[in-house]
A and B are shown apart, each in its own frame.
Chain A
Amino acid sequence: MKKHDDSTHFGFKTVAKDEKANMVAGVFHSVAGKYDLMNDVMSFGIHRLWKRFTIDCSGVRRGQKVLDLAGGTGDLAAKFSRMVGPEGEVVLADINESMLQVGRDKLRDMGIVGNVSYVQADAEKLPFPDDTFDLITIAFGLRNVTDKDAALRSMLRVLKPGGRLLVLEFSKPDVELLSKAYDVYSFHVMPRMGEWIAKDKESYQYLAESIRMHPDQETLKDMMQDAGFEQVTYHNLTGGIVALHRGFKF
């Protein structure tokens, strides 16, 4: 009889599944305050273009319901809030209370109130009824989820028929030279920057490792199809450093 595997990855380390959530929470609790600044510095601002492309692929309309999962500091939620208008609704969900707090403060400072609600939620067990959302986005969050298959199934459940899921996540560069340069950058430069700017080398070391351990483009596509998503496609961004996967529920 096959033994049930209770271990998972936390960066390059193998840890018990029930420990990972707390360890990831620790990382994001630590980086929450400087998350936006670090994103801009480490990606040279390119993360804004990746998010713009995600919005382009969302097809979101006035009056729709959007779930921005692992929404962190609310970059996507802010844009969706304006697009769906007062008749629509955006739910900014994150498992991490600190990130959610930073997101809530940021959106309120931007004057975005009324159609945005904030929910502390685990992507594997989403606390919403079936067929609730027209669109679900998860940007740079899926790789931190312990059981990605369970999370994808949960997202499918709460998505309305005809709705779509967009997964924006680090992936595998499709050019060998770029891949090597990116390795040097993520394992040697990124943790140093984390140390200098956010005074937290370990968290950024984890981020680099978790990017390497995340499934590549084709594997994630298969995982989405296995979860029940249809017409799954992906689009490489910046040479495959990041990929946007899109799948539909019919």
Chain B
Amino acid sequence: MPVLAVVRASIERALNVALANDPRAKQRLAGVQGKCFRLNVSGLPEPITLFFYADAISLLGPDYESVDGSVTVALSDLSELSDASKVTQMMQSGRVTITGDPVFAQQAAQVFLKLDVDFEELFAHYLGDVPGYWLAQGVDKLKQMRPNAARMQKRASDVLTQETQLAASPLFFALYQDDVRALGKQLDALEKRLDSIAKRSSTPPKTE
């Protein structure tokens, strides 16, 4: 509990700093104020539970039960959720489950997806102008990598799936082992025969 609680508190702090530095965050928060949203991502140690206030959020633990809406999705499908046009298709194919009002889920997501923070200004405030500039450049590069990351994730997923399809079945592998064993026996027999021929040829013929 303590490690996850510390992680949660740190993320909450970071998100609230980001929201405080986004001039339009309050407008987006107004629609979800006083509500609680839970994102269940398979593969993560616990669900992400967000309680929205007028100007900030609280990141609550998994024990909080008064949730207004939730989304359950696999980690590999998470990036697709940001594309609203794909959500219906994902729901129909069972890759995403939404409980509560879908509009609320969309509004909750928009609070973070539409974050518009001047990172250079923000970092400069805490770290100074030059480190702030370099750090902001890093953030920009990360943002540019996002589409690539999604592509790479899809490619890795495809390769892994195809590998599974191409891999030999257990029955095929057992037959293959039988063939190898039979071939081994034939080789042993051939080796013995060659040995005996070699011995015969090296033995000098008997002279009277």
Contact = CB atoms under 8 A, between A and B. Distances in A.
B149 interface: no
Contacts of A58: 64
Interface string A37-63: 000000000101100110111111110
Nearest to A246: B63
Nearest to B53: A82
B63 A56 contact: yes
A85 B33 contact: yes
Given A53-B5, A59-B66, A237-B1, A79 B34 contact: no
Interface size on A, as a range, is 10 to 19
Contact of B9 (A49, A57, A59, A238): A49
A59 B61 CA distance: 11
Secondary structure call for the B interface: loop
A72 to B, nearest CB: 20
Contact of A49 (B2, B35, B51, B62): B2
B6 A82 contact: no
Contact of A62 (B2, B35, B62): B35
A238 B174 CA distance: 53
Contacts, number: 45
Secondary structure call for the A interface: helix
Contact of B66 (A49, A61, A238): A61
Interface of A: 46, 48-49, 52-53, 55-62, 79, 82-83, 85, 237-238
B72 interface: no
B33 A60 contact: no
Contacts of A61: 36, 66
Nearest to A60: B66
20 contacts: A48-B9, A49-B1, A53-B5, A53-B61, A56-B61, A56-B62, A56-B64, A57-B63, A57-B64, A59-B66, A60-B66, A61-B66, A79-B58, A82-B53, A82-B58, A83-B34, A83-B58, A85-B33, A237-B1, A238-B2
Contacts of A85: 33-34
Top 7 closest pairs, chain A to chain B, by CB: A56-B61, A62-B34, A56-B63, A49-B5, A85-B34, A59-B66, A61-B66
A53 B2 CA distance: 10
A90 to B, nearest CB: 14
A49 B6 CA distance: 7
A57 B61 CA distance: 8
Nearest to B63: A56
B65 interface: yes
Contact of A52 (B36, B61, B65, B66): B61
B60 A56 contact: yes
Interface in B1-59: 1-2, 5-6, 8-9, 33-36, 51, 53, 56, 58
Contacts of A79: 58
Contacts of B65: 59
B1 A53 contact: yes
